[in-house]
Amino acid sequence: MGERGEEAVATSIPREVGRRISLLRELDSLIDFSRGELQLNIIIKLGETGGRDLTASQLSKILGERYRSVIDALHRLERKGLVEKRVGERGILLYTLSATGKWYYNTLTKLLNLKGEMEAEDQHLSHKTMLRHFAKEARTIDYIVDAIIALATTTKKRLPLETLASIMGLSTTRAQSYLDYLVSNDVSGSSATRGT
């Protein structure tokens, strides 16, 4: 690909990547990714149930976490408006995602392209697999943020692929694959457009 094509890819990225970063920040503002692993696990597990309510005891067993830790995380999620509880038979407390919690789960899985993978493989991924995938995506975003900052600080808002790859600390092939991935995976459901 010539320099002109490389610049076209580089200049079409900031809007899409900026939108994804904005979504990640919004999700992170509700559940701190660096400290809220149990809360994320609960959201993912409740989202995987397809609306079926679970007890704190069930969540504790499924996630392999202490009951008290799960209860504390559920209370935090409830205060944030992500989880709702209701009283079931015999006074047992049942937890499910609220409307905001469903939005959170759907946005996270769509942002990370996990729903497509689940449907394509015709199986549900475990919450640990989802989190590992999320960590990989976060590293990808980290590379892209370096490229965005470089593009944003240039006067023409364009850089050759070789320069972006150097800034990202990657080979040009690897940098191109990250840029192509982010341009082609549109979270909103509409296709990302790319200049030629």
| CATH classification of the domain holding 73 | 1.10.10.10
Name 83's bridge partners: 97
**pLDDT band of 39, cuts 50, 70, 90:** very high
Asked if 67 and 73 count as a contact pair (C-beta separation under 8 A), the reply is no
Domain-embedded: residue 81? yes
Is residue 114 in a domain? yes
3 state SS of 25 = helix
Distance, CA of 148 to CA of 138 (rounded, Å) = 15
pTM reported for the whole predicted model: 0.56
Task: Report d(CA 97, CA 83) in Å as an integer.
Answer: 4
Tokens read off for 177: 């694959």
> For residue 191, is it within any domain?
no
Q: How many domains, in total, are found in the chain? A: 1
Give residue 9's pLDDT: 46
Q: For position 125, what pLDDT does the model report?
A: 53
